[in-house]
Amino acid sequence: MRSAHLSVVPAQDCEAPHAPAVELRGVGKTFSSRSGRVDVLSGLDFSLENGEFLAIVGPSGSGKSTVLNLLAGLDQPSAGSVLCQGEPVAAVNTGIGYLTQHDSLLPWRTVEQNIAVPLELRNFDRAEIAARVHEQIAQVGLDGFERHYPSQLSGGMRKRAMLARTLIYDPPVLLMDEPFGPLDAQLKLVLQAELLKLWSARRKTVVFVTHDIVEAITLADRVLVFSPRPCRIRLDEPITIPRPREVHEVRFHPAFEEHYRRLWAALESPVRRPS
Ligand SMILES: Nc1ncnc2c1ncn2[C@@H]1O[C@H](COP(=O)(O)OP(=O)(O)OP(=O)(O)O)[C@@H](O)[C@H]1O
């Protein structure tokens, strides 16, 4: 998947006071291909306040990545509008950091060289790049692996390196597309805990796509459940479990079961077969 680092719109163009951090208004998206038209999104409306953590769950093919691509400005809606801090997203959006589900590290660059890419593209001077890379590597716990190449890292370390590369230019909005999907359960918990720590410290606005309902409840302030395409919002569930949250303990909170039941019921209905 493409990265949102090659930027056309200056980040400051994405900053207007009091507007929602991101907003979709009546968004439709239709793809045309040789096999015909696919209506993926239809009349989709939602918005997020600054600093809010939103998770999106939904069936495969329901349009979750499409929504992230529209917010990143990598694609344009067929109808309606996509706004960032009140401004339409008309080109590649530098006000966001995009962590895709695919491994997008450059194999010929070391960890520190990969993490430096967004700053090199923004013409930061070498001393500033070195200082920021050093600090970011420490924050994601990759100290000692600066000179390693991606092929010498575990899956979890590669995810940490990608997260560091996304955070290094301090984008106010983070888009995360199943970032921990293929990792084992224990590592997933570790990275979720680190993400919550970083989020608490920096209060980014986050849109986090996942197939894992427990992960959505653990991390988010709100969870949207998408219907099969053309996607509509089946459920907009505010998560009432207080913060700070311990990722190991969220599932034992009294409110967890009720959130889980409602989210599962909203997700499950499209795959029920007639008896
Ligand atoms: N560039 C494109 N051209 C044609 N069809 C596309 C394109 N991008 C996405 N689609 C189609 O749009 C639909 C939604 O895709 P999308 O990747 O947004 O789904 P998703 O909910 O993220 O799925 P998953 O959970 O499997 O990752 C799919 O049917 C997909 O084939």
ipTM of this complex prediction, to 2 decimal places: 0.97
pTM to 2 decimal places: 0.87
Q: Residue 226 has what pLDDT?
A: 96
| Residues in Cβ contact with 89 at an 8 Å cutoff, skipping those fewer than 6 apart | 9, 70, 71, 72, 73, 82, 83
C-alpha of residue 144 to centroid of ligand 1, in Å: 38
Instruction: From 2, 27, 31, give the residue whose CB has the most ligand 1 atoms within 8 Å, as the site to mutate.
Output: 31
CA of 191 from ligand 1 middle (Å) equals 26
Ligand 1 within 6 A of 210 CB?
Answer: no
Instruction: Report yes or no on 60 lying in a domain.
Output: yes
User: Are β-strands 222-226 and 36-48 bridged in parallel, bridged antiparallel, or unpaired?
Assistant: unpaired
Domain holding 117, by residue range, is: 56-69+91-226+233-269
For 205, residues 6+ apart whose C-beta sits below 8 A from its C-beta are: 21, 22, 48, 49, 50, 51, 52, 53, 172, 173, 174
**Residue count of the chain:** 275
Residues 79 and 177: their CA atoms lie apart, in Å, by 23
Q: Are 94 and 10 in contact (CB under 8 A)?
A: yes
pLDDT for 11: 46
Does the residue 49 lie in any domain? no
Span 76-90, average pLDDT = 93
* CATH number of the domain bearing residue 214: 3.40.50.300
Tens of pLDDT, residues 6-65: 334 444 445 445 789 999 999 999 999 888 899 999 999 999 999 999 999 999 999 999
Q: Would 132 be classed as within a structural domain?
A: yes
**pLDDT, tens only, 128-163:** 999 999 999 988 889 999 999 999 998 889 988 998
264 within ligand 1 shell (Cβ under 6 A): no
More reliable by pLDDT, 232 or 275: 232
DSSP percent split of the chain into helix, strand, coil, nearest 5: 35, 25, 40
Atom 31 of ligand 1, nearest CA residue = 61
In total, how many domains does the chain have?
Answer: 1
Ligand 1 nearest atom to the CA of residue 101, by list position: 27
